Structure 1
Amino acid sequence: MASGPLIAIVEDDEVLRTAIDQLLRSCGYCTSGHGCAEDFLASGAIAAALCVITDIQMPGMDGVDLKHWIDAMAPGTPVILVTARAEDHVLKRARASNPWGLLNKPFEPDALVECVASALDRDH
């Protein structure tokens, strides 16, 4: 069992959520997976998560709105947004939320690992 920093994964695609979970655990991180933003917020994991990875397009609350909730509830927690939708209006709204990272699906596993590592190594 990993005992490193807790990374929350909020992704409605169970296959991708599991793949990200396995990737991060193989790097020594602890993970907390959630199928939607509402489940993540209700779980209380926001208090322990040192980084949050969230899909933008999800049923219910989307990832950008979740980023705003995280900013209010756990200021300074880095959020990495991922999306399969590269439309200008989606990316513009995502960038305006000032995420730590923004990755387009499909992304290289190393790109996600590097983004998480840089988020955790940031100056406080």
Structure 2
Amino acid sequence: MIESFELVSVSPLVAIVDDDVSMREALEDLIGSLGYRALMFGSAHDYLASPERSQVACMILDVQMPGMTGLDLQTHLVEHKTAPPIIFVTSFGDDTVRRRAMRSGAVCVLEKPVQEDEIIGCIDKVLRGGAGEG
């Protein structure tokens, strides 16, 4: 007898790394509304300690965090060849930060307060191959 198997599609996992709880929760709600799964972390070190990080399809990363900054985390991930596509969000969106993030492979660098359509455009660019804001 031949058994049939149904393939179950698992929605992409988006890591949110931000020390601001309200920002993490707002982004989690947005990610869920787009049909993706969210994994939240309050620090770069929490992300690095996660056994689930190998499953991350995209990361939304704050620049300024206590301890290891978002830019430092990006550098670490790039050096170890474990960097997922990264969307930065920052309250400190100067040209130096933007250039450093983009030079190291960031998909987008968005300034807080982040506009919903901008973050959706960046997520679509990564996960659906569409056009996004940069």
Asked if these proteins are the same fold (TM beyond 0.5), I'd say: yes
RMSD of the alignment, in Å? 1.5
TM-score by length of 1: 0.87
Match of 2:85 in 1: 78
The sequence identity of aligned pairs, in percent, is: 38
Distance apart, 1:95 and its partner CA: 2.8
2:29 to 18, 22, 32: 22
Paired residues, what number?
A: 119
Matched, 1:88 2:95: yes
8 Å CA contact 2:61–2:88 kept in 1: the answer is: yes
1:53 counterpart SS class: strand
Structure having the higher Rg: 2
* Structure with the larger RCO, 1 or 2 (CA within 8 Å, 6+ apart): 1
Distance apart, 1:73 and its partner CA: 4.1
8 Å CA contact 2:93–2:110 kept in 1: the answer is: no
TM-score by length of 2: 0.81
Structure 1 gaps, min length 5? none
Distance apart, 1:67 and its partner CA: 1.2
